[in-house]
Amino acid sequence: MRKTLRLTFILLSLSGLALSLVQLSKHWNYEDKAQDIAKLMQQSVSSEKLDKAISTAITEKHLDDAKMYLKIARLYHYPIDIDAYEQQITKINTLEYRVSNNVKNFTHGFIHGKGDDTASITGSVISDFTVIGDVRDLREQYIRQQEGKEVNKVVASLAGVGIGLTLVTIGTVGTTAGAKGGASLLKFAAKTKRLTKGFSKQLAAQGRKVFEWNKFSSAMKTGSNFADIRRAAKMSFHPKAIQPLKVTAKRMYAVRKASNTKDSLHMLRYVDNTKDLRRLETFTLKHGLLAKGYLKLLGKGILRTTKVLKKTTGFLLSVLGSIFSSLFSLLFMFSGRGKT
């Protein structure tokens, strides 16, 4: 009778242990831990390196970059003459200088969809929101095909998607504006060769499912004016397949909102795939206008995160349950051996 009772208790204890281990596995979760930027700055970026970055940015009239580096210098207490640099920036950045450059470059970007400064890029993106830019780019790619030249399928598909999203945005009171803005930025990056090969390949694959270039080309044989291009693009657009590309475009738009247009395009050089874009989004949402500066000073490695065991209440209770079940099992097993 005692042996049966002892065996029952041992089996119950072992069952409890097994159940505790199962519960423990359910709470065995990890969370991403970001890199320690302050520590990395202290270890890897000397005052000389940061000072050179500031002076180079001012010399090349990249004044926004210079201001960004000065903020980093102030944040981490680098022994740099910040006031002297700010005076240099103020001397260059006059109202006349800003107006002259912005008007000229915005117009160039709006018409041609190209440029390297903020005003040109803004002009290009705004032209896409009016459909003018997307129609212009589709027409350019179609002409290239007619001339026997290589078609940039990323530009073509994103332009076609852009026209489709514009129609959807109008019909849904702007709910897809984030995806439209992100698609425009990615298209601009493709046109100006800012995309890495890996990311460009992924974008092409996503775009192919949403916009059929061959179908568009066939539809264009009846005419190539503004209305013809819009009609052909609409026929070749498949909104039901857009979700993966929509996620990618929205991530790009989030990066731009957290930083700025010019910086978001620059940071694409650190993106080799959609996972990198997700990491960049998280990083930029945390560091904002300083994100590009950290990447330029510290490299792509700072986008990586480490997995840390998440010690939730459920996890800790499961650990305690496993320990107690183990102790009871051992107690009954050894007490039984002592009496035999």
What pLDDT score does 131 carry? 78
Q: Shortest CA distance to 203 belongs to which of 215, 188, 216?
A: 188
What pLDDT score does 173 carry? 47
How many C-beta atoms surround the C-beta of residue 15 within 10 A?
Answer: 12
What pLDDT score does 49 carry? 97
Q: What are the two backbone dihedrals, phi and then psi, of residue 117, each rounded to the nearest 5 degrees? A: -95, 170
How many C-beta atoms surround the C-beta of residue 320 within 10 A?
Answer: 12
Dump pLDDT digits (tens) for 270-307.
999 999 999 999 999 999 999 999 999 999 999 987 55
* Surface-to-core class of residue 253, CB atoms within 10 Å of its CB (0-12 exposed, 13-18 middle, 19+ buried): buried
Give the C-alpha separation, 6 to 4, whole Å: 5
Q: Give the start-to-end residue ranges of the domains of the chain.
A: 2-29+310-339
Q: Which residues contact 144 (CB under 8 A, 6 or more apart)?
A: 150, 151, 152
Q: Which residues contact 126 (CB under 8 A, 6 or more apart)?
A: 110
Task: Determine the 3-state secondary structure of 309 from DSSP.
Answer: strand
* Surface-to-core class of residue 48, CB atoms within 10 Å of its CB (0-12 exposed, 13-18 middle, 19+ buried): exposed
Q: Are the beta carbons of 85 and 74 closer than 8 angstroms?
A: no
Q: Which residues contact 340 (CB under 8 A, 6 or more apart)?
A: none
List Cα–Cα distances, 336 to 8, 12, 273, 339, in angstroms. 12, 15, 60, 6
Q: Are the beta carbons of 254 and 291 closer than 8 angstroms?
A: no
DSSP secondary structure code for residue 211 in this structure:
B
In this prediction, the residues of the chain whose per-residue pLDDT falls under 70 are 1-32, 99-102, 108, 112-117, 128-129, 168-175, 222-223, 306-340
What pLDDT score does 328 carry? 54
Angle, helices 82-92/63-75, rounded to nearest 10 degrees: 160
